[in-house]
Structure 1
């Protein structure tokens, strides 16, 4: 997938999804779709945090990092978190916004939000953006992770 934003071209190379198989049973692409992903929450999630990290692929140098975003506060008012609120609105399917506590059931996300998080002053190169959802009750380092690999090219 290729998107243009200002004078940069954003080339989505891949998206990997992972989960802990304890709080989140599965997290995967919906068969026969391009942008739709599904996950199944199996235990009530009363509180969680979100970590977002952007790294340079070649050197693994951290380009941007934001940790311990309080997930329930974010869900109550995504506009407080400016660019992440825009990403969230694009990830949501059919206006089905999440509410805390997150109840056990099957949920869906669209892989359209990553482009809006990329600033127009982003340097060219290959990067990876990871978004991890963590819960204190889980022994795993995260309950869900999305890892986008992308390339930025300057348009002349």
Structure 2
């Protein structure tokens, strides 16, 4: 998937290319985490157990320099769902990936949930450096427990 955008301040063009994506899940809690059947723009999560708490680790690594450029650990998803003003960044991303298609609130009940599987031109900031990056998002039900779901996106940013 290739997306082109223009930096409003510099007039430079930016090109974002999704190189690969990987979706992993723990079968103890999730029966399925992947593309919705017959679709390429929606991800389906079939959660099988009640989640009273949920934490997220998120990081972006520059694959060329092997440096981490962004990292958040143990972000409380339930606190965020109860008050999305906790983080403007995550509130924006929540709206982009979840939108009105699914209602998440804690405790998260077993069931089928949908996320959007796309990157809009406005989602990658204009100040994002050029290079090849890996975005990893891991959700876990407890701080010290294994992951419940994991999303890995490799992408490339080119400035022209």
TM range (shorter): 0.7 to 0.9
Q: State the match for 1:148 in structure 2.
A: 153
Q: Is the Cα–Cα contact under 8 Å of residues 23 and 138 in structure 1 kept in the other structure? A: no
Alpha-carbon distance change, 25 to 42 in structure 1, aligned in 2, over 3 angstroms: same
Of stretches 13-22 and 92-101 in structure 1, the one that deviates more from structure 2 is: 92-101
| SS in structure 1 of the partner of residue 91 of structure 2 | helix
Q: Structure 1: which 5+ residue stretches go unaligned?
A: none
Q: Which runs of 4+ in 1 moved over 3 A?
A: 113-117
- The aligned runs of 1:26-41 (5 Å cut-off) are 26-41=32-47
Q: Is the Cα–Cα contact under 8 Å of residues 87 and 116 in structure 1 kept in the other structure? A: no
Instruction: Calculate the TM-score normalised by the size of structure 2.
Output: 0.86
Q: Is the Cα–Cα contact under 8 Å of residues 55 and 143 in structure 2 kept in the other structure? A: no
Instruction: Calculate the TM-score normalised by the size of structure 1.
Output: 0.88
Shift of 1:55: 0.5
Q: State the match for 2:67 in structure 1.
A: 61
| SS in structure 2 of the partner of residue 119 of structure 1 | coil
| SS in structure 2 of the partner of residue 102 of structure 1 | coil
Of stretches 65-74 and 106-115 in structure 1, the one that deviates more from structure 2 is: 106-115
Q: Deviations over 1:82-140 (max 9, x none)?
A: 12211111111544220100001111111135765532111111101011101228842
- Count of residues paired in the alignment: 154
Aligned-partner Cα distance in 2 for 1:108–1:60: 32
Q: State the match for 2:133 in structure 1.
A: 127
Aligned-partner Cα distance in 2 for 1:71–1:45: 11
Aligned-partner Cα distance in 1 for 2:143–2:76: 15
Alpha-carbon distance change, 116 to 60 in structure 1, aligned in 2, over 3 angstroms: farther
